[in-house]
Structure 1
C-alpha cells in the first residue's frame, strides 16, 4: 500500500474532566490510514471518541501523544502550516443549517474559503464550478439565495461546494446525512461517491450508522471508548464481524438476521477506562460464558489488547475473536 494521504499514528487525546477530576481519554491510542481515493467509515456510538479523532485529524485538536501525518509528513501546528494543511483536508459538518451563516448568500458561503486564503483569482468561475460539481445547476441560479430559501439537501450541497472550492485531497465528513430526510440521503451519498470517482477525492466519513457505511465506504474502522476495536474492508466487517461490539451494532439493522443484541449499561466513563478489554463490562460473549469456555475469560477481564494497525488489513482487538482464529 502506498503512503496514506492522511494518517493517525498512536494518537491520544486527553481532556481535563469537568467533574470529579481526572483526565478523560477521548482518544486512547489510534492508528488509522486514509489512502488516496479511498472512503473510510469511522463508526461507533455517541461518545466513543470518533468526532474528537476527526477534529484531531483536521488539526483542530492537538494530540496529547502520537502524530497526525499528511502524505507521510508529521503535521506542524504553526499558523502557516495549519492554514496550508486545511486547504488539503476539508471538513463537512452534519448540520448545514448550523454551519451556514443565515445572513450570507450561497455565493458568499462558497467563496469564503477562497477569501480566507487570499485566493480570489477567478472567484466567480470557481464558485460556479464548485456549486456545479456539488450538483447545484445551473449554479448562477443559487448565487443570491440565502440558506433559508434552500431545502436541507441543497444546503448540504452548498457546504460540500464550500469544501470543494479549495480543491482538497481529503474530506472529513461528520455525520454528513444525519440531519437529512431519508429521500435525500441517497443523493448526498451518491454525490460523495461521484466526487471520489471523478476527482480522486479521499474521505473519512464519521457515522454511527453501519448501514451508511455499507453504502459508501471501502473500509470500516469501528471505535469504542477511544480505541479502534475492529477494522477491515467493508464487505468483511459487515458480513462477518468478529468483535462482539461490531456484532451488536450490526444486529439492530433492519435487514440483520436474528434478534438484536441489547448491550448492558452505558459505555464506561473515559476517565476510568476498565482494565483488560475495554468492552468486557458490556460484552455479550463474556456474559454468556462463551469466553470462559474458550479459555480467554480472565484475559478479557485483565489483559489489555494491542493497538490495531491503521492499514487495509482486517484486524480485531478481541481475545475471544483471536482465539477463534487459532
Structure 2
C-alpha cells in the first residue's frame, strides 16, 4: 500500500467546485525526442470557499497544471470539472468559464499594460464579456474590495505611478470585477517586498471570508502555504506526492521531498536537507518512485532498513486521489505507517 492516510476521512457533503481527474499534459519533443510529461497523472479537488496551495520546485509542473485547470492548456488525458460539469474547450464555453475562474499572475508589472490607466485595466474584463451594468460602479467596487480606497483616486493613474503592492491590488481587482467563484494565483507575492506580502495574503483571506471565494495558490514557498492555505498539495516531477490539511502536512511531513522542502525554512529548526542533482527531465522520468534518484531516505539506507529500497527503485506509487484526506505517495512512508 503506497497511498496512506492518517485515518478515515469524513464523507464529502458537497461536490468540489473544481476538480481534476487523472490529468495529464504532455508536450511533444523536438526532432523525435520523447514527449515531456509536464503533468503526469494528477487528481486534485478544490472545494467552495477553500484555499489550496500547490507547492514544489520550479519546473515540477505547477504552472502547467494551473493553466490546464484554467482551460489555457487542453489536457492530453483526463478531465477538468467545474461545478460538477466537464470543462468544454469551445471558444464560447471557455469564455463563460473564465468569467467564473480568474487568473492572478505573479508579476503585476508584466500583466498590466503601462499605457492603460487603472480604470481601463480593471474594466477590460467587463468589456471583453459584454457587461451591461454600470461599468464605473463595478470598477469602483472591485478596486475597493482590493483595498484601493477611495477607488476614484486611482482611476486615472498609470501602473508606473503605483507601488508594487498597489499594482498587485489592481491585478486582483481586475480578477474580482467579474465576480468569479475561484481565482488561480500564480506566485501572487513572489515579486513583492516582505512588508507588502503579508498585506496581500491578508487581502486574499479577507476575500474568502467576505465573498466565499475559492483559490488555488501556486507557490514554491511553503511559508506562504502555511499562512494562507487550508490544504496543501506538494508536486514533484508532474505528480502530487503528498497532500492534506496544511497544519498536518507542514508539521508532520511524511514524504522525503516535503521534508526536504520544509528543512530549508528558517523556522523549521531542523538541519537543511540538500537534495542531490536537479529534478529529472520530464521527458525522461525515471522508473520506480520518480523521486528515488534524489531521495535522502534511500541514500541514507533508511529505505533499505525498512525493506522497501527495491520497491523505491522499481515500483511507481499510484496517483493520489482527490479530496481532503491526508495522503502520501511513498513506499517508505507507507511502511512506517504499517509498522
Structure 1 equivalent of residue 244 of structure 2: 232
Tell me if 1:122 matches 2:137.
Answer: no
Structure 2 equivalent of residue 266 of structure 1: 278
Give TM-score, length-normalised by structure 2. Answer: 0.95
Distance 1:260 1:303, change over 3 A: same
CA distance in 1, matches of 2:292, 2:153: 55
* Helix, strand or coil at the partner of 2:200: helix
Tell me if 1:83 matches 2:95.
Answer: yes
Structure 1 equivalent of residue 310 of structure 2: 298
- Choose the corresponding residue for 2:202, options 190, 198, 201: 190
Distance 1:11 1:155, change over 3 A: same
CA distance in 1, matches of 2:269, 2:174: 41
* Helix, strand or coil at the partner of 1:76: coil
5 Å matches for 1:13-92? 13-18=25-30, 21-92=33-104
Q: Deviation string for 1:7-40 (max 9, x for gaps)?
A: 1110000001247611000000000000000000
CA distance in 1, matches of 2:284, 2:16: 33
- Deviation for aligned residue 1:270: 0.5
- Choose the corresponding residue for 2:228, options 193, 210, 216: 216
Structure 2 equivalent of residue 158 of structure 1: 170
Structure 2 equivalent of residue 178 of structure 1: 190
Tell me if 1:97 matches 2:104.
Answer: no
- Deviation for aligned residue 1:258: 2.1
Structure 1 equivalent of residue 21 of structure 2: 9
CA distance in 1, matches of 2:39, 2:88: 20
Give the unaligned 5+ runs of structure 2. Answer: 1-11
Q: Deviation string for 1:158-206 (max 9, x for gaps)?
A: 0000000000000000000000000000000000000000000000000
CA distance in 1, matches of 2:113, 2:270: 46
* Helix, strand or coil at the partner of 2:97: helix
* Helix, strand or coil at the partner of 2:266: coil
The total of aligned residue pairs comes to: 326
Distance 1:92 1:19, change over 3 A: farther
CA distance in 1, matches of 2:27, 2:281: 13
Tell me if 1:146 matches 2:158.
Answer: yes
CA distance in 2, matches of 1:165, 1:200: 15
The higher relative CO (CA closer than 8 Å, separation ≥ 6) is in 2
- Choose the corresponding residue for 2:291, options 276, 279, 294: 279
CA distance in 1, matches of 2:148, 2:282: 43
CA distance in 1, matches of 2:261, 2:132: 46
Give TM-score, length-normalised by structure 1. Answer: 0.99
CA distance in 1, matches of 2:324, 2:129: 34
Give the unaligned 5+ runs of structure 1. Answer: none
- Deviation for aligned residue 1:257: 1.7
